[in-house]
Amino acid sequence: MSKGKILLTGAAGYIGSHTWVELCQAGYDVVGVDNFYNSERDVVERISKILGHEVMFEEADCSDIQAFGKVFAKHSDIVGAVHFAACKAVGESIDKPLLYYRNNIVSLLNLITLMTEKGKKANIVFSSSCTVYGQPDKEHLPIAENAPLKRSLSPYGKSKQMAEEILSDSVIAYPNLKVCALRYFNPIGAHPSALIGELPRGVPQNLVPFVTQTAAGIRDHLSVFGDDYNTPDGSCIRDYIYVVDLAKAHVKAIDKLLGDDANAPVAIDEPTYVEAAKTGRWSVYNLGTGKGLSVLELVHGFMKATGVDLPYQIAPRRQGDIEQVWADPRKAERELGWRADTPIEEVLLSAWNWQKTL
């Protein structure tokens, strides 16, 4: 028995592909949607191979409401959506802000419009980011959902802040809409099958793909951007979370939305979204391990986990980077029954095993 049909936008992307697998294995029928702007077509076949059966897929640009609307017309029995379709690199967003605002915001507006226009129950899990917190004050570390949202340091982060505002306003306006926003920290690693993983185009914008490409000899060396931050070893600190653990949280979030009574009382602990929280149809969760790991600690952890030497150099600070941030994930554990508990050595080894297949 299927638990219902879920629309998955950005389905061929890094987190989307892993979530596709986990949703299907949890008993949902999934309709994947992607335009392959920043992903590869063979990912769909790889997912089918992992699952052992063909999957449902529609090629469409979510920022084109006509094309996106055809997906809804064909799959009128969708009961929920997980929305990943967005550009995601902090550095690129500084160079191409209009691309980020146009793609990330318009695709979300189209999704809300199409999900709510006929008055049917609409459930959306939104792919948000810890960048909505900006650079948190040290007294707010580890960062909880009730921490103040500071001005983001990048157009990428600002687009996520705007998207959350749009969703919380929409929850107030549309009584048939429920939303769960998941604020990710730093997803890394690859599926245990080594059939899917992070595959950036061109020079990687994220740390771990650059690490694995350097270890594989594709890059001459790894640049560590800054060793003069106010941290124990001078490098930035992040909360690195295994992508499979992260994907499983989306299953928990969909389960919650489909199972919740919309009028159930909700703890109001997101100060920016008090009115939305009062509806009982708006919730926010941090997804992280609860532990901060510096860039240099990750680099040395990779070498220890794989036995591969990794040449690296210290480079100047990179514009838009936050000094340190890690999650307080207790709300997700308490309300979703979810925890990220895969050891970092295992996660880094999965990334290396994936790199060796490329």
CATH number (domain holding residue 50): 3.40.50.720
Average pLDDT, the chain: 94
Instruction: Establish if 330 belongs to a structural domain.
Output: no
pLDDT in tens, 198-257: 998 888 888 999 999 999 999 999 999 999 999 999 999 999 999 999 999 999 999 999
How high is the pLDDT of residue 62? 98
Q: What are 137's two structure tokens?
A: 């004050």
Confidence of residue 161 (pLDDT cuts 50, 70, 90): very high
Close Cβ partners of 171 (under 8 Å, ≥ 6 residues apart): 177, 178, 179, 276, 279, 281, 282
Confidence check: pLDDT of 127 > 50 = yes
Q: Is the peptide bond before 175 cis (omega within 30 degrees of 0)?
A: no
Range scoring the smallest mean pLDDT among 46-55, 71-80, 126-135, 255-264: 255-264
3-state secondary structure of 290: coil
| Residue 302 φ/ψ, nearest 5 degrees | -65, -45
Helices in the chain by DSSP H: which ranges? 14-25, 42-51, 65-74, 90-95, 97-116, 155-173, 207-215, 243-259, 274-278, 295-306, 330-336, 344-355
Close Cβ partners of 23 (under 8 Å, ≥ 6 residues apart): 6, 8, 30, 82, 250, 251, 254
What's the average model confidence in pLDDT over 55-67?
Answer: 98
Instruction: Establish if 323 belongs to a structural domain.
Output: no
Instruction: Establish if 265 belongs to a structural domain.
Output: yes
Per the annotation, the verdict on 273 as an active-site residue is no
What's the average model confidence in pLDDT over 258-278?
Answer: 67
How high is the pLDDT of residue 120? 87
Confidence check: pLDDT of 266 > 60 = no
* Residues 97, 154 contacting (CB under 8 angstroms): no
Q: What are 271's two structure tokens?
A: 């100060």
3-state secondary structure of 84: coil
Instruction: Establish if 310 belongs to a structural domain.
Output: no
Instruction: Establish if 89 belongs to a structural domain.
Output: yes
Burial of 341 (0-12, 13-18, 19+ CB in 10 A): exposed
Q: What is the DSSP code string of 229-249?
A: SSSTTSS-EE-EEEHHHHHHH
Confidence check: pLDDT of 39 > 50 = yes
Share of the chain above pLDDT 70, in %: 97
* Residues 80, 258 contacting (CB under 8 angstroms): yes
Residue 146: domain span: 5-188+240-288
Nearest alpha-carbon partner for 241 in 149, 332, 156? 332
Instruction: Establish if 224 belongs to a structural domain.
Output: no
Stated length of the chain? 358
Confidence of residue 135 (pLDDT cuts 50, 70, 90): confident
Give the CA distances from residue 169 to residues 90, 175, 303, in Å, rounded to whole numbers and listed in that order: 26, 11, 46
Q: How many CA atoms lie within 13 A of 283 on its CB side?
A: 26
Q: Which of 28, 156, 174, 240 is catalytic?
A: 156
Exposure string for 66-103, b = 16+ CB within 10 A, e = fewer: ebbeebbeebeebbbbbbbbbbbbbbbbbebeeebbeb
What's the average model confidence in pLDDT over 163-186?
Answer: 96
Instruction: Establish if 341 belongs to a structural domain.
Output: no
How high is the pLDDT of residue 265? 47
Compute the distance between CA of residue 120 and CA of residue 178 in angstroms, rounded to an integer: 11
- What is the tally of structural domains in the chain? 1
Instruction: Establish if 52 belongs to a structural domain.
Output: yes
Q: What are 32's two structure tokens?
A: 């994947």
